[in-house]
Amino acid sequence: MSKLLSLRQRVLNTFSRKPIDRIVFSPRLYYWYYGNRLWRRPRTDKKCAGKIPKYILRKSLLGIFDYLEASPRYVIENFYLPLIWPRKKIRHIRVKWARDRTDGSLITVYKTKLGNLYKKSRGGHLVEYPVKTVNDMKILKYIIKHTKFHFYLPIFKLAKKIIGDRGVVGTYFARSPYMSLITQYMGFERTIINLRRYPNEMEDLMKFMDGCDDDMFEILCNSPIKIFNFGENIDCNLSPPRYFEKFLIPYYEKRVKQFHQAGKYCHIHMDGSLKDLLPYFEELPFDGLEALTAKPQGDVTLEEIQAAIKNKVLLDGIPALIFLPQYSFKYVKNYTQKVLEMFSPNLILGVSDELPPNADFRKVEMVADIVKHYEL
């Protein structure tokens, strides 16, 4: 291969199983970058959580990717450019916000003709979920029915212009019905209790949510986006084998088939305890698996991951934990080389799953250098 490929072409070739000249390094840096307030262009790292070289402090996030010769993965988190977004029809749903005077929590109220739902969040995290009763499920159905997903072509064109040949403009989108109930609407405890107490109502709700997703997937399949991520954040403690088989695998098979028929690639985000789900990995319909968290951070080894995913693309591979000060540069170097040797060429190397603010950035530089000199 005489001419060097662009990062964009390397990403596409990795998913299409075509030859590549170099492994793509694609660390998700936004949490580290914005967590250290580097957008303010500080001159020293005294107020930063981790060790950051002075020549990095004045760079933009895109400039840091260029310095590393790395590929940005999601424009929504790196540049706050949402490609798709849910809009609630205001004729049917009124949304009001207020502050809880006791603890400062943000209260969001959804007002409908069937009744109201409200939730509380603090520090960007839900502390009270909106669906609390069986009757609330009816109100949730009404809200979902009158929520429409939109794809923003002008934002896609802007994102494509910003990214250029640095990578592929990809995105994640709404979670599956089961994971949406856990993360957005009921929380884990109430979801599991309701599945035991009200199985018919819960399964009917998830079936309804699945049907409402049809419009979203039609929009996504007809969009120019080439690679999609199912941002599920799978953990076998939240989605144990029993529920994974019943509620998740059928949904994935149905939706991935739609993407493949539309000529798209897709992968799924799985970043927690995974040991009980390893037997399912090979048969999952995805082209790749993102963020699989190996030891010393997760509960599985690299060898177990390799045996489970076979020839699927692995996105990431290096645990975020080892970028912290307690792990040596030699440890990170050896770990990186091991991941490269085990998973190349079906690999988009990155951090599983985001670089923490108190990471030592010099380790990221080292990984980038190892990738540049790694021979396939």
Indicate if the pLDDT at residue 3 is higher than 80: no
Q: Are residues 360 and 300 in the same domain?
A: yes
Number of domains in the chain: 2
In a domain, 2, yes or no: no
What is the average pLDDT across 226-240? Answer: 97
The answer to whether the pTM exceeds 0.85 is: yes
What is the average pLDDT across 76-93? Answer: 93
Indicate if the pLDDT at residue 90 is higher than 90: no
| CA atoms lying within 13 Å on the CB side of residue 315 | 29
Q: Are residues 150 and 81 in the same domain?
A: yes
Give the DSSP H/E element, type plus range, for residue 125.
strand 125-128
> What are the structure tokens assigned to 140, written together?
């949730």
Q: Mind listing the pLDDT tens digit for each residue in 49-69? A: 999 999 999 999 999 999 999
What is the average pLDDT across 260-265? Answer: 98
Do the bridges between strand 115-122 and strand 106-112 make them parallel or antiparallel, or are there none, so unpaired? antiparallel
Q: Are residues 320 and 243 in the same domain?
A: yes
In a domain, 140, yes or no: no
Q: Are residues 192 and 53 in the same domain?
A: yes
Q: Are residues 298 and 331 in the same domain?
A: yes
**Residue 261: which domain range?**
7-85+146-373
Summary mean pLDDT of the chain: 96
In a domain, 154, yes or no: yes
- Identify the pLDDT of residue 329: 98
In a domain, 170, yes or no: yes
Q: Are residues 282 and 302 in the same domain?
A: yes
Q: Are residues 202 and 100 in the same domain?
A: no
Q: Are residues 78 and 94 in the same domain?
A: no
What proportion of the chain, given as a percentage, has pLDDT over 90?
Answer: 97
Question: Could you count the other beta carbons within 10 Å of the beta carbon of residue 52?
Answer: 22
In a domain, 130, yes or no: yes
- Identify the pLDDT of residue 149: 94
Q: Mind listing the pLDDT tens digit for each residue in 30-43? A: 999 999 999 999 99
Q: Is 44 helix (H, G, I), strand (E, B) or coil?
A: coil
Decide which of 100, 135, 170 is a domain's last residue.
Answer: 135
- Identify the pLDDT of residue 206: 98
Q: Are residues 319 and 214 in the same domain?
A: yes
Indicate if the pLDDT at residue 1 is higher than 60: no
Q: How confident is the model at residue 15 (pLDDT cuts 50, 70, 90)?
A: very high
Q: Mind listing the pLDDT tens digit for each residue in 109-150? A: 999 999 999 999 998 899 999 999 999 999 999 999 999 999
Indicate if the pLDDT at residue 213 is higher than 90: yes
In a domain, 96, yes or no: yes
In a domain, 76, yes or no: yes
Q: Is 347 helix (H, G, I), strand (E, B) or coil?
A: strand
Decide which of 72, 101, 135 is a domain's last residue.
Answer: 135
- The full 3-state SS of 75-121, as one line of letters, equals HHHHCCCCCEEEEECCCCCEEEEEECCCCCCEEEEEEECCEEEEEEE
What is the average pLDDT across 364-374? Answer: 98
Cis preceding linkage at 325, omega within 30 = no
> No. of H helices and E strands in the chain?
15, 13
What is the average pLDDT across 292-319? Answer: 97
Decide which of 135, 159, 194 is a domain's last residue.
Answer: 135
What is the average pLDDT across 8-36? Answer: 97
Q: Are residues 113 and 205 in the same domain?
A: no
What proportion of the chain, given as a percentage, has pLDDT over 70?
Answer: 99
- Identify the pLDDT of residue 123: 86
Q: How confident is the model at residue 2 (pLDDT cuts 50, 70, 90)?
A: low
- Identify the pLDDT of residue 205: 98
Q: Are residues 250 and 269 in the same domain?
A: yes
Q: How confident is the model at residue 352 (pLDDT cuts 50, 70, 90)?
A: very high
In a domain, 250, yes or no: yes
| CA atoms lying within 13 Å on the CB side of residue 94 | 7
CATH number of domain containing 11: 3.20.20.210
Q: Are residues 329 and 342 in the same domain?
A: yes
